[in-house]
Amino acid sequence: MSTETSGNAVLPFYILCDESGSMDANGGIDAINSGLPELHAAIAGDPLVSDKCRIGLLTFSDIAEELLPLSNLSDVGAMPGCAAKGLTNYGEAFNLLRVVIQRDIANLKAQGLQVYRPAVFFITDGEPTDDWEANHRALTDKAMNPQAPHIISFGVAGANPAVIGKIGTKAAFIANNGVDPGNALKEILKSLTNTIVNSSSSSVPTLVVPSAPPGTTAVPLDTM
């Protein structure tokens, strides 16, 4: 196990993946499950990066689940895999994420760590099947949640650009028409890995927002 030193700074990253049934039909689940071990190898194999970031994996379908609690990936033998399930319930995902972030920040601070505002990578392939916006607001509105994370959202295979733009608070990207969803997700996972590495490579971790991964286009964020 790694040893923490009082005063160290860490940047928490959460990967929030859609496990709805459509993600299996379009090859998305396979692409994510092949990309997560590559992410693990890149981060766990770099002591500077793994020391400065913590990674958590959450999924959502009808319900939201925490597959990997926020961890130093050098302490993790292998990433868990995703599995296709039911519908596309965004609200449950945002509610669970808010609870998990509050718990994790308290735990990290109790270890004597300086914690930077978390970053979330939200990956989905379709329209939400629930009324999610109130839970999203409870997560991202700093007046309601002082620990509100930065969200970078990615949409593939029929995702609505307007919805993806509402979810992202820092950046949002949509796969281009005609791009195979599995290929798009492979590029998204590579971009996600690079973002974590680039954000965690200095003594002071700083979120480096990625440019549009190959096969995707940036979409405007929803602003007030």
Secondary structure (DSSP) of 61-116: SSSEEEEEEEE-GGG-SSPPPP---S---HHHHHHHHHHHHHHHHHHHHHTT-EEP
What confidence score (pLDDT) does residue 3 get? 38
User: Three-state DSSP class for 150?
Assistant: strand
Q: Which two tokens stand for residue 185?
A: 């997700």
Question: Each residue's pLDDT tens digit in the chain (224 positions)?
Answer: 333 443 489 999 999 999 988 887 778 888 999 999 999 999 999 999 999 999 999 999 989 999 999 999 999 999 999 998 888 899 999 999 999 999 999 999 999 999 999 999 999 987 888 889 999 999 999 999 999 999 999 998 778 999 999 999 999 999 998 888 888 999 999 999 999 999 998 888 999 999 999 999 999 997 65
The encoded tokens of residue 168 equal 């992202």
**Model pLDDT, residue 223:** 61
Per-residue confidence (pLDDT) for residue 28, from 0 to 100? 83
Q: At what angle do helices 181-199 and 28-44 cross, to 10 degrees?
A: 20
At 71, give phi and psi (nearest 5°).
-145, 155
Which amino acid, residue 96?
Answer: L
What integer pLDDT is reported at residue 5 of this predicted model? Answer: 42
The reported pLDDT for the residue numbered 125 is: 86
Strands 171-175 and 216-218: antiparallel
Specify the pairing of strand 53-60 against strand 216-218.
Answer: unpaired
Q: What is the pLDDT of residue 179?
A: 87
Answer for the pair 128, 90: CB distance below 8 angstroms, yes or no: yes
Q: Which domains does the chain have, with CATH numbers?
A: 9-218 (3.40.50.410)
Q: Would you state the structure tokens that stand for residue 20, as one six-digit string?
A: 């709805």
Q: What is the pLDDT of residue 85?
A: 86
Task: Please report, for the chain, how many H helices and E strands are present, in that order.
Answer: 7, 8
